[in-house]
Structure 1
Amino acid sequence: MRFSELNPLAIIVPVVIAVVLLAIRMYVLLRVRHKRQREARQEAERLRYLVIAYRSLAGSFTPATNEHRGQLEEALADVVLFGSIRQVELAAACLQLLMRGEPVDYQPLIVELRNDLRTQLGLDPIPETLSLPLSGPGRPPRPPQGEGRAGNARMRPPM
């Protein structure tokens, strides 16, 4: 069989099929990559908001006063929006107590947030044997420090 005797369709059809299959493969790969990037951005944003909420709940003020209520509500709202179902349940319970003006124990929510964030960030869990002090707006106030005692004054960085 000579080259001149080959049917041109015998060459063109496989090339066209190969190009179409390659185009489909490229399209699918691009779609998958964009979906993964979108999911990664969403997860990063979720973690960012939960870290901010954790910081607000775990240590920005002791004890909470009415001037902190907006900060508390904002942090709890972020947990309701971005948290896991368990975190949403705990935040909703805190919000209900806060709205009724009753004392709120934030510790279960703070612990749940801390554990989830450490898992999401690929960090080891905090060992059960390590005793962490209570944190957040529900923790007991610090005892008053003695007046004029050296060592109690905090150094402020120069501005």
Structure 2
Amino acid sequence: MNEYLITFLGIYFLCLFKFIAGPLLGYAAGFGLWEIVAVTVSGMMTSVVLFSFLGEWFKKNWTLITRKKAKKFSKKNRSIVRIWHKFGIWGIAFLTPVILTPIGGTVVLTSFGIGKKKILITMLISSLFWAILFGLSIEKLLEIPFLKKMWT
């Protein structure tokens, strides 16, 4: 039981920062589908909750600490704004687990002025969708020769 709990918490901690760690490491640890979904979604949603409530404070204090003039129109910023204009909150939430990190997606939505409740709901739906999809297909994904070579 202790080994299981340590493994679960370790994967949970990694999911705070990188969503894909949940399905990959959960599969490697021998977790079932619902264990993979639980650890992945709980890790991502912990980050989303923390950064949606601390996002404004973090944004304000981070700019005071860095004081570096960041490029306003970088390639990355243009891509995010393009996605925002095309798909809105659902586009950012949908891409957060796959391309952005849970922290990055939450900070982006917070910076666009989206309410906390809306962020939590859209990110929860997105994380459930991707966790179930990855959980169901992780075995097949790891059969791709490139990924199989990296995994073994």
TM-score, normalised via structure 1 length: 0.27
Greater RCO (Cα-Cα under 8 Å, separation 6 or more): 2
Query: Could you say which structure has the larger radius of gyration?
Result: 1
Structure richer in helix, relative to its length: 2
TM-score, normalised via structure 2 length: 0.28
